Amino acid sequence: MQCTVQLFANDTWHDVATVLQLGPEEQGCLTQTYSGYAIDWVLAHGGARDAWAVASQMPVVADGQSLPHWPVALIDMLPQGYGRAELLRQLNLPEGTAASADWRLLLTGAGNPVGHLRIKEAAQWLAERAGPKRGFTDAEVADRATGFIDHLGLHGLFVAGSSGVQGEWPKLLLTRARDGLLYLDHSVADSDAIEHFIVKFGRGADGRLASILRHEAPYMRVAERLGLRMHAPLEMRGEALFIPRFDRRVVAGRVQRLAQESLATLTGRAGFGVAPSHDEVCRKLAETCSDPANEILEYLRRDVANIAFGNRDNHARNTALQRDFAGRIALTPLFDFAPMYLHPDGIARRIRWEGNDGGAPDWARVLDKVCATCRLPREPLAEGLAAMAPGLREIAANGHDFGLEPDVLDFLATAILAQAAALESLR
């Protein structure tokens, strides 16, 4: 069994690589594969690790690659969570079908993923089942928030090409067309698209889950005050959260698809639930990014924010790299920043510092180790972290100005001030 990886560049899709699945299908994404680039792609872009490559750790070379699992970039395209369950229903497979369905889900559900890659067979399968095209007003999407995906299914609107975003919350990729209406992303021609969104919907009646979703927009305002890398404000409309996409740009009437890969791909972590350490991530950022010092500082600042604001769900697909065609490799804007401490399942902090992370790392020790292993000067990193302290203190005192609700601010204030004090000691 094999599939073809396509990459979007210069306004068209290119066949750039082939992946052969060699092991048992029952092992899912953890089965053996062999992959290789097309020879014409190697001749044109040999040695590339930026957007001309499938992934930064999968450079464009003539030699093939044998792995005991799928290339992790493919796993990034595999629908999970709510999107996986929806696609299983479309395929008439039991909702709980596990790894044995992974290959079929890839060949059907990876026809329109986030980023600039897709699986050719999935795109063809999706095109054959496009279904009726229908636009919705923003109010219609928001008003039907809790049952919008069910509404689409009830009316026969095929959603596999627009519901494959990974994560447990129901999400759709919606695109605003020139008529002002929102359509399922895969149904809109690039020439007709003017805005791209991920729309995240509430889950059931649990008040804690509803609070998490409500706080994503205020948390982005908090992140902006702290100087973290932002894309655009988020907007909560009813029970639907509208998130402008940063992997799409519309320039002069043309859609640009931007290369994106998760920390799982960067560190070669196959499967789900397996996380690297922060130390390993920093080493990979130092090896891979075009401006290592700046990206590692951004990464450290995000971890401070995660700790201060209770975002414990810092798994390897909640942070990603963006690569362009001119050689720039850097962290994407921040995403999935929310008060996950509220989650009723009691989510624990996922990625941690080696030997220095009981939930509150010693930042002086973190800097010592990062600077030694990544060969970076300490002072700029220390100053960059300390510069967050005034913003942290302002938010602890006036969090309601950013949209934090009283119960959340009351719970977080102590941790926010503790992080401010810890950073101030680095001066």
Cβ count near 83 (within 10 Å): 28
260-424 classified as CATH 2.60.120: no
Cβ pair 370, 356 in contact under 8 A: no
Q: What is the pLDDT of residues 181-218, one digit of tens each?
A: 999 999 999 999 999 999 998 877 789 999 999 999 99
CA distance 119 to 113: 9
pLDDT tens across the length of the chain (427 residues): 999 999 999 999 999 999 999 999 999 999 999 999 999 999 999 999 999 999 999 999 999 999 999 999 999 999 887 778 878 888 889 877 889 999 999 999 999 999 999 999 999 999 988 777 889 999 999 887 667 777 777 666 667 677 767 676 788 899 999 999 999 999 999 999 999 999 998 877 789 999 999 999 999 999 999 999 999 999 999 889 999 999 999 999 999 999 999 999 999 999 887 899 999 999 999 999 999 999 999 999 999 999 999 999 999 999 999 999 999 999 999 999 999 999 998 888 999 999 999 878 999 999 999 999 999 999 999 999 999 999 999 999 999 999 999 999 999 999 999 999 999 999 7
Q: pTM (2 decimals)? A: 0.95
Residue 183's DSSP bridge partners are: 175
Q: Count CA atoms closer than 13 A to 333's CA, side-chain side.
A: 15
Provide CATH 1.10.1070 ranges for the chain. 260-424
Nearest-angstrom CA–CA distance, 311 and 317:
14
**pLDDT tens-place string over residues 77-124:** 998 877 788 788 888 898 778 899 999 999 999 999 999 999 999 999
Residue type, 83: G
